[in-house]
């Protein structure tokens, strides 16, 4: 590759890195040319452009674009899925995860709305329902003011995932607290407390019965 061609590629990669807040990096060494074309077409349907890149040129582009987290991922055969502004990161992660299951590629990590994510994060992202379905489910699952729900839909994807996790933990805690009264022997304890007071109440009549005993003896004297 001539110097002018390298500079053109670096400039193009720099522009794409600057414009993509979400991208996924993969090791494609198990893919054939035909499989790369098929995967590229599938990802394009979900709003992502899948490109095989040269590490040395991509490192230069990443440094120029100020995307330092990408540098550590540029080892071995590398391909990057660049998400467009209207792309679906969940669907893209699912498509790539399906390729991982066939042992044709390995996910390295990437960026989600500008935040660095690892391979495990991508697997968790792939388990989520599609974005449209997720939003629809949240309408019935999230109990809160309408303004809170509207704000949730407007939040970035990473915040949306965080809110969902927090909501799940909250529902689990509420479920545990709701079950706790049924497990505690509250009724038995309430029954035992009056029982403990009953002997004291019985003891009082005994004392009143003993007190008048001397009085008849004094009258007899």
Give me 137's structure tokens: 């489910």
**pTM for this entry:** 0.61
What pLDDT, on a 0 to 100 scale, did the predictor assign at position 104? 80
Q: What tens digit of pLDDT does each residue of 175-220 get? A: 655 555 544 444 444 444 444 444 444 444 444 444 444 444 444 4
Tell me the C-alpha distance between 99 and 76, whole Å: 18
Angle (CA) 37 43 49, round 5°: 80
Distances (CA, A) of 6 to 1, 10, 11: 6, 6, 9
CA end-to-end span of the chain: 134
Residue ranges for the chain with pLDDT beneath 70: 130-172, 174-221
Q: Which pLDDT score, from 0 to 100, does residue 192 have?
A: 44
Alpha carbon distance 153, 49 (integer Å): 25
C-alpha 5, offset from chain centre: 42
Bridge partner residues of 26 (DSSP) = 79, 107
The pLDDT value given to residue 156: 55
**DSSP 8-state symbol, 86:** T
Structure-token pair, residue 219: 């009258």
Contact in structure between 149 and 160 (CB atoms under 8 Å):
no
Query: Residue 129 has what pLDDT?
Result: 76
At residue 219, the pLDDT reads: 44
Q: Which two tokens stand for residue 206?
A: 């005994």
Give the whole-angstrom CA distance, residue 12 versus residue 8. 6
Please give the pLDDT value at position 12. Answer: 94
The span from the CA of 130 to the CA of 83, in Å, is 15
């Amino acid at each position: 590759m001539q110097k002018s061609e390298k500079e053109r590629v670096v400039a193009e990669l720099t522009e794409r890195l600057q414009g993509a807040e979400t991208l996924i990096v993969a090791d494609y060494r198990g893919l054939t040319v035909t499989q790369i074309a098929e995967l590229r077409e599938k990802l394009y349907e979900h709003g992502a452009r899948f490109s095989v890149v040269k590490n040395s040129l991509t490192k230069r582009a990443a440094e120029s674009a100020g995307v330092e987290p990408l540098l550590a991922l540029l080892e071995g055969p590398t391909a990057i899925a660049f998400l467009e502004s209207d792309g679906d990161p969940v669907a893209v992660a699912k498509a790539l995860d399906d390729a991982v299951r066939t042992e044709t590629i390995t996910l390295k990590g990437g960026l989600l709305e500008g935040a660095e994510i690892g391979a495990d994060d991508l697997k968790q992202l792939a388990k989520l329902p599609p974005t449209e379905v997720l939003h629809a489910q949240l309408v019935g699952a999230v109990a809160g003011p309408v303004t809170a729900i509207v704000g949730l839909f407007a939040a970035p994807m990473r915040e949306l995932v965080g809110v969902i996790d927090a909501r799940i933990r909250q529902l689990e805690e509420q479920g545990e607290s709701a079950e706790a009264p049924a497990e505690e022997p509250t009724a038995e304890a309430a029954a035992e407390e009056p029982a403990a007071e009953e002997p004291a109440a019985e003891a009082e009549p005994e004392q009143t019965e003993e007190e008048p005993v001397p009085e008849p003896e004094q009258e007899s004297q």
